[in-house]
Amino acid sequence: MNVHVSVTTSAKPPFRAEHIGSLLRPDAMLQQRARFARGEIGQAELTEAENRAIQEAIRLQEQLGFKFVTDGEFRRRSYHSFFYQQLGELNIDAVPAEAGAAGRGAQPQAQVGSRVRWTHPVNADGVRFLKANSKLLPKVTIPGPCALHFRGGDAAVTATAYDNVDTFWADIVEAFTRELHALTEAGCSYVQIDETAFAKFGDPDVQARLAARGDDWNALIDRYIDVTNQVLRAAPKGLHIGMHLCRGNRGGRWHAEGSYESVADRLFNALEIPFYFLEYDTPRAGAFTPLRFVPQHKSVVLGLVSTKQPALEDKAALQHRLDEAAKFISLDRLAVSPQCGFASIDSGNPVTYDVQKQKLALVCDMARDIWGGT
HSE-up (13 A, CA, CB side) for residue 98: 18
- Please give the pLDDT value at position 22: 96
Q: How far apart are CA 290 and CA 286, in angstroms?
A: 9
Whether 79 shows a pLDDT value over 60: the answer reads yes
Residue 325 and residue 96: Cα distance in Å, rounded? 37
Q: Is 178's pLDDT higher than 60?
A: yes
Beta bridge partners of 211: none
The whole-angstrom separation of Cα 95 and Cα 109 is 7
Alpha helices in the chain (DSSP H): 27-37, 43-64, 81-84, 124-133, 147-150, 153-159, 165-185, 204-212, 217-234, 261-265, 315-325, 353-371
pLDDT (0 to 100) of residue 100? 43
DSSP string, 236-267: PTT-EEEEEE-S--BTTBBS----SHHHHHII
Q: How confident is the model at residue 5 (pLDDT cuts 50, 70, 90)?
A: very low
In which region does residue 329 sit, left (phi positive, over 0), alpha (psi from -120 to 50) or beta (all else)? beta
Task: Judge whether residue 6 has pLDDT over 50.
Answer: no
User: In order of start, what are the domains of the chain with their CATH numbers?
Assistant: 27-371 (3.20.20.210)
Report the number of secondary-structure helices (H) and strands (E) in the chain. Answer: 12, 10
The burial of 223, by beta-carbon neighbours within 10 Å (0-12 exposed, 13-18 middle, 19 or more buried), is given as middle
Query: Region 50-75: what's the mean pLDDT?
Result: 98
Position with higher pLDDT, 143 vs 9: 143
Give residue 335's identity as a one-letter amino acid code: A
| Average pLDDT of the chain, as a whole number | 91
Average pLDDT over residues 364-370: 98
Could you say which DSSP state residue 104 is in?
A: B
Query: 151 and 204 in contact (C-beta within 8 Å)?
Result: no
Cα–Cα distance list, 107 to 104, 210, 218 (Å): 9, 12, 19
3-state SS class at 143: strand
Average pLDDT for residues 29-42, to the nearest whole number?
Answer: 97
CA distance 224 to 228: 6
- Is the predicted pLDDT of residue 314 greater than 90, yes or no? yes
Summarize pLDDT for 210-258 with one digit per residue, the tens. Answer: 888 889 999 999 999 999 999 999 999 999 999 999 875 555 554 556 6
Rounded to an integer, what distance in angstroms lies between the CA atom of residue 34 and that of residue 39? 9
Mean pLDDT of 11-28: 96
CA distance linking residue 314 with residue 236, whole number of Å: 40
Maximum C-alpha span of the chain:
59
